[in-house]
C-alpha cells in the first residue's frame, strides 16, 4: 500500500475531482500497461499502486481521501506560493563593513592607504554584510544596496572647466540603489558573493566607485542588535 500522502489522482493520471467513469477508464488503460503479466512494461509495484488508487477513488473511502487531499493540497499550495514570493529586506539589514570613523580610529584612513591595504589590516575581505534570520532563508531574498556613484555631467560631458552645472568638476557624486535577488539555494551561512558592478551600471554616465562588490551573508537565529556604525 502506498503512503497516504501519495497523490492518487496523479497515480491514475487524472485531475482531482475526476468522475468515476474517468477513473475506471484510466485504470483500465494503465492496467493494460502495468499488469505484472504484461511483458516489458508490467510492474508489480506500479500495478499495486494504480490498483490501490483505483480502489480508493471508486470506493466508499474516496470522500475521506478527497477531504484530506484538499487540505494537504491547500497547505502545499500556500507553502509554494510563500516560497515563490521573495522577502524584501529592510535597509537596516545591510551593513557596510568599512565605517569611515571606525577605520580612522584604527589609523587606516591615512593618505596613501588604499581599500586593499585596509582589508589586509582588518582581515575583512568583503564590503558589506547582510543579516538574515534563519526563518527567512526559505524564501528568495531581495536586498536593496545603496551605493555611491560618480555621474558624468551631462551638460559638459565632463569636459568644460567652466561648466556651471558641475562647477567644472566634470562629474558629481550620487547614489544608486542596487537590487539584488538571492535565490533560496544561494542562502548559505557565511557565503561571500562577488558582484561585478559593471553589469549593474544603469547608463554609460554612471560609474560605481568600486569595480566589484563583495557581500557576505550572515544567518542568525535572531537578528543581533546593531552596533552603531558611522557611514
Give contact residues for Zn ion (rule: CB under 5 A): 153, 155-156, 163, 165-166
Cell triple for 176: 544608486
Q: How far is the CB of 158 from Zn ion (least distance, A)?
A: 6
Residue 73 to residues 69, 76, 77, 78, 180, Cα–Cα distance (Å): 6, 5, 6, 8, 32
Q: Which is nearer to Zn ion, 168 or 183 (CB)?
A: 168
Q: Which is nearer to Zn ion, 100 or 157 (CB)?
A: 157
Q: How far is the CB of 200 from Zn ion (least distance, A)?
A: 24
Q: Which is nearer to Zn ion, 84 or 155 (CB)?
A: 155
Q: Which is nearer to Zn ion, 193 or 205 (CB)?
A: 205
Q: How far is the CB of 148 from Zn ion (least distance, A)?
A: 19
Q: How far is the CB of 154 from Zn ion (least distance, A)?
A: 8
Amino acid at each position: 500500500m502506498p503512503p497516504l500522502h501519495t497523490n492518487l489522482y496523479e497515480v491514475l493520471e487524472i485531475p482531482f475531482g475526476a468522475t468515476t467513469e474517468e477513473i475506471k477508464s484510466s485504470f483500465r488503460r494503465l492496467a493494460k500497461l502495468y499488469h505484472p503479466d504484461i511483458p516489458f512494461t508490467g510492474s508489480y509495484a506500479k500495478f499495486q499502486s494504480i490498483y490501490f488508487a483505483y480502489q480508493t477513488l471508486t470506493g466508499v473511502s474516496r470522500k475521506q481521501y478527497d477531504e484530506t487531499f484538499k487540505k494537504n493540497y491547500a497547505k502545499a499550495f500556500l507553502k509554494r506560493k510563500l516560497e515563490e514570493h521573495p522577502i524584501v529586506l529592510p535597509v537596516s539589514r545591510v551593513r557596510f563593513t568599512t565605517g569611515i570613523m571606525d577605520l580612522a580610529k584604527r589609523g587606516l584612513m591615512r593618505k596613501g592607504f588604499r581599500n586593499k591595504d585596509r582589508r589586509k589590516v582588518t582581515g575583512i575581505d568583503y564590503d558589506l554584510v547582510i543579516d538574515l534570520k534563519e526563518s527567512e532563508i526559505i524564501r528568495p531574498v531581495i536586498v536593496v544596496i545603496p551605493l555611491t556613484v560618480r555621474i558624468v555631467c551631462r551638460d559638459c560631458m565632463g569636459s568644460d572647466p567652466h561648466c556651471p552645472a558641475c562647477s567644472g568638476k566634470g562629474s558629481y557624486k550620487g547614489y544608486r540603489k542596487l537590487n539584488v535577488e538571492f535565490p533560496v539555494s544561494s542562502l548559505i551561512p557565511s557565503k561571500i558573493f562577488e558582484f561585478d558592478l559593471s553589469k549593474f551600471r544603469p547608463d554609460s554616465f554612471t560609474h560605481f566607485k568600486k569595480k566589484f562588490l563583495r557581500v557576505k551573508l550572515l544567518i542568525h537565529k535572531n537578528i543581533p542588535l546593531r552596533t552603531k556604525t558611522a557611514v
